[in-house]
Structure formats: C-alpha cells, structure tokens
Amino acid sequence: MSPTSTQRRHTVVFTLITAAALTLTACGAGDGPAAPAGPARTKGAAVPTADVVSSVTRDEAAAKLLPPDVRRRGTIGVASASGTLPGAAYLPDGRTLVGGDVDLTDAVAKVLGLRVRREVVGWDAILPALGSGKYDVGTGNFGVTEERRRTIDFVTYVNDGQGFAARADSPLKEITDLTQLCGLKVATGGGTTFEATLERNRPRCAAAGKKPYDVQVFGDLGAQWMSLQQGRSDVLMSTVNGLRYAVTQQENVKFLNEYRRLDVGFAFKKGTPLAPAFQAAVNRLKADGTYDRILRKWGLTESAIAASRISPPEIPAPAK
C-alpha cells in the first residue's frame, strides 16, 4: 500500500526530530505503562518555508568592521551542528539544512556582504575546531558560560536555556528544585551544559537524604526521546526551545518548564577580530525587522534579545 500524504508528512517530522539529530550532542516517574517500542508518534506539523533572508542587503558600516583579509576573500567559514528544529536540521533529502540558526547565519552574512561556506560538523567538535582556525565561526545553540568564555568569544543572537520534558502520564508538573529529580532517571546529551548542571548538583540529593538521580548520557538526541517515550528515562533535560518544539511534534510527551536561561551566540576563537562585525550585523537585522521575522518563522519569539553583545557574563543559575 502506498503511503498517504499524512503518513508521508509524519515521516518527515519524525526524521527532523530523530534521524536528523544523530550528529547533535547537546543544551516524571514512569508509573504508567511504557510507550510501545519503535518510532514516536508525531502530530505532523509542517516545516516553515517562508523566505525571510533573500531581501537582506549589505550594510556598509557593518561590513567595514570586518578584518581586511575577510573582506577580500568575501567568504566566511561556518561550522554548523545539525540537530533538531528550531535550531538546525536536515530536510529528508539529506542535503538541505534549515532552521533558525541557518537563517540567522545567512542573514548576518548578507549584511556583511559575505558568502557562507557551511560545513556540518559534530556538535562536540565545533568549539575545539575554532581554535585551530579551520572555521571562522560555529553555530549549534552554544550557551554562554564562564567556562566557555575562557577559550571562546561569543556574539549573542538569542536567549535560550535549560528545561525539562516528561511523558504525558508523568505526575511531574514542573521542576523548580533539582532535588525533585532525586531517584529518577534523567536523559540528557553528553558534553553539554545540561550534563554539567546535573553532575554539579547531584550531591544535593544526598544532602537532602534522598537517593541520587541517575544521569543517562546520550550522544544522539533521537535516542534521548526514544528512551523517554519507552519509559527507560523519567525526564529529559535539554534546550528550552528544542523541547518546546519537539513536544508539538510528538504525542505522549509534555514540556514541564524552564529551569534556567542562557544567552546563546555565534562562537569564535578567543580574541577574534570578527566579533564587532557580527554584533553590528545582528543589531542591524534587529533594526530592520528581519531578526523578528526569522524568530517568528521558527517559533523563537520568546527568545529574542534586546541587543547583541560580545561575550556577556553567564546568566546566574537558580539557587535551587
């Protein structure tokens, strides 16, 4: 039997959430029956297709801030993580990368009069590669932290953060204190701010006389969701924007709440001369309305920033 249009659409959405997440490693107690093994069911929302970039024009003032060698060559080398929408993910053709990170990068390049040379790179390889000079800039929803600021410069473009999701039958409603996780299995990505937050706060359970939570580290975002759907994990900790998007695409899961916020930025090697130009370009996009159009397209309006900044201090974590 040939697939219906609805079935094909569901396949597209699941591909974007799971199979396309294979290169990303990021940022409820299961008392009910476990979800059946196999792919998560999806709700079939369409991928946004509005063109919000092609009308962007070069801004001479911003372009003049570029280093002379970059202006001469006219290109910018971008290492991009392909994970899940709304950040960046491949369409089912396996060639077309779409998402908020993609549109924002392309729009900034147009403001600066540059062509993008984009290479999709494993998330955990991007920051180390910047120091070698292989790429000029990296994108992958990189949160600005004090640890990263020691070796990386950032130009902020959205404000995202850390949040939680659970199965729809979980008794959890929100996580306001990490001791609520004690005794649970928490899925997250390896090498991320999520894993660091969980490991740093694990002793709180013992201090409260409770059983520690189990941090389940996955290198594959699709595997995190599958573990949650099948009841092998009680909670999933990931990016606020990623979680909010994913629960609109999958059945049997719910977004619990934000835990903390972090600024997110384009990443560069420490001491880069590119930061002032990128900052000016982001602020130009804000001024002409392109920035807001891109965020609306990808459902990121709540993550808008007032102005782009260069390597701002890390937003403090909650006390609990």
Q: Note the pLDDT of residue 2.
A: 36
Strand order, beta sheet including 185-189:
115-120, 75-80, 137-139, 253-269, 152-167, 235-239, 185-189, 214-218
Q: Note the pLDDT of residue 319.
A: 74
Q: Note the pLDDT of residue 45.
A: 61
Q: Which residues contact 202 (CB under 8 A, 6 or more apart)?
A: 212, 213, 215
Q: Note the pLDDT of residue 31.
A: 20
- Per the CB < 8 A criterion, the answer to whether 21 and 220 are in contact is yes
Q: What is the pLDDT of residues 298-314, one digit of tens each?
A: 999 999 999 999 999 99
Q: Note the pLDDT of residue 92.
A: 87
pTM of the model: 0.80
Go through the chain and tell me how many residues it has. Answer: 320
Q: Note the pLDDT of residue 43.
A: 56
CA pair distance 215, 265, nearest whole angstrom: 27
Ranges in the chain, pLDDT < 50: 1-42
Pairing of strands 137-139, 75-80: parallel
Q: Note the pLDDT of residue 274.
A: 98
Q: What is the pLDDT of residues 250-277, one digit of tens each?
A: 899 999 999 999 999 999 999 999 999 9
